[in-house]
A = this chain, B = another copy of it.
């Protein structure tokens, strides 16, 4: 009778711990490599309690992502006073720095994204906005330019994954590769380009 059957926590505290645990677990395992029952067991609570705090596995996952996403957004947010090309360069550099730090999580996220519709929508929305920003900043309107930028975003993911897997050259060079490829893609799409944006290196 003296030992309580379970330890009781404050709503906020429990939620905080669950988010923290989720952040760690979802960077180690992809979304569908881990079940809610396992997570609950890992947290030392029942599955029902986990569902008491988060209405579904997807929402739990998204909530877990939100923290890191906010930090990423803050770091990548470019200085609005910079001219477009420099702004893009700076944002891209910050983005690569973040990936270099959180490479595990980045890889697992890309793997999970395909499975969770809600995450796919979020990523899709971000991409739409990014495409729009780039297109207006270089003043391109042709359909092919849109396709070029969209494809380039995929290029980024693929190149980053390959770089993470090998890490056999400098981040600076990756940045040059990305910027140079964007330039090449826009040129190949027939878009007009800002005069002579000399790339680093």
Contact = CB atoms under 8 A, between A and B. Distances in A.
A157 B159 contact: no
A172 to B, nearest CB: 11
Contact of A188 (B32, B144, B176): B176
A73 to B, nearest CB: 22
A184 B189 contact: no
Interface residues of A, number: 42
Nearest to A176: B188
B146 A150 contact: no
Interface centre among A114, A147, A162, A189 (most CB of B within 10 A): A147
Interface centre among A146, A151, A153 (most CB of B within 10 A): A151
Interface string A155-166: 111110111001
Interface of A: 32, 111, 114-115, 142-144, 146-148, 150-159, 161-163, 166, 168-169, 173-174, 176-181, 183-185, 187-190, 199
30 contacts: A32-B115, A114-B114, A142-B169, A143-B168, A143-B169, A144-B169, A144-B174, A146-B162, A147-B166, A147-B177, A148-B181, A150-B158, A151-B155, A151-B156, A151-B158, A151-B162, A151-B177, A152-B158, A154-B154, A154-B155, A154-B157, A154-B159, A173-B190, A178-B188, A179-B188, A183-B184, A184-B184, A184-B187, A184-B188, A188-B199
